[in-house]
Amino acid sequence: MAKIRVVGIGPGDYEEMTVKAVNALNACDVIVGYHVYVDLVKEHFPDKECFTTPMRREVDRCKMALDMAREGRDVAMICSGDAGIYGMAGLIYELLGEDDSIEVEVIGGLTAATSGGCRLGAPLTHDFAVISLSDLLTPWELIEKRLDCAAAGNFGIVLYNPRSIKRRDYLQRACDIVLKHQPPETVCGVVRNIGREGEAAEIMTLSELRDYDADMFTTVFIGNAFTRVIGGRMVTPRGYKDV
């Protein structure tokens, strides 16, 4: 039966790919993905045929992958981080519907929240919410509501897609919503280019984060009311008792 694997490749470096993801890419005939992700993995799988598509052509990319699978090729569709977190896994299932002529296997990966979190210290040791600031597919009002609810619930918050060319002030707006519930000194962190060239992590306050110039390869961490800096690391205590 035709088969497609939807593979999360982790943040970027080979060491942070799961063994299962490596095995999947070794087993496939072709690798399909956004060119940045294909560039990250292709040196480790030199004999594989690769097909790239530009960003924002997600539906085309998935259709291309499904067509190749229908032609009888063993396809791996790669996504950064985890394929099911703002990735292509759901879209593949949606496009296939009840068509069971293609077997789908989703292979999990290390998402930016966890790969970035460990660069900062241990910011996610208690409950946290993951929110994307991209309003391409979600109305901004709903994003604001989710930010408000997460901050009201004293969740740690991880922000994906904090910035794009058209959305310059979204991080600032997000911080303003959190500032309604949390003080400006709240411990925050940013990690850029996790596992890629130019990787950098920085700890700052919520008011500093408000003015931070994030790019599209940045993941943002907003601590909860108990998050502290310990030994230069961003740490959210596991319990809320004083230790």
Residues making contact with ligand SAH (CB under 6 A): 11-12, 79-82, 85-87, 111-112, 116, 160-162, 191-196, 216-219
Which residue, 111 or 236, has its beta carbon nearer to ligand SAH? 111
Q: How far is the CB of 21 from ligand SAH (least distance, A)?
A: 12
Helices (H), ranges, the chain: 19-27, 35-41, 58-70, 89-96, 112-120, 140-152, 170-179, 206-210
Q: Which is nearer to ligand SAH, 182 or 218 (CB)?
A: 218
Q: How far is the CB of 229 from ligand SAH (least distance, A)?
A: 21
- Eight-state DSSP code of residue 42: G
Least distance from C-beta 242 to ligand SAH, angstroms? 33
**Residues recorded for the chain:** 243
Smallest separation, CB 220 to ligand SAH (Å): 7
Please report, for residues 73, 85, 130, the alpha-carbon distance to residue 113 in angstroms, rounded to integers and kept in the order given: 33, 10, 8
Residue type, 187: V
116 or 121: CB nearest ligand SAH: 116
Q: Could you give the CA distance from residue 186 to residue 216 in angstroms, rounded to a whole number?
A: 23
Query: Which residue has 């077997």 as its token pair?
Result: 103
Nearer to ligand SAH among residue 73 and residue 173 (C-beta) = 173
| Minimal CB distance residue for ligand SAH | 81
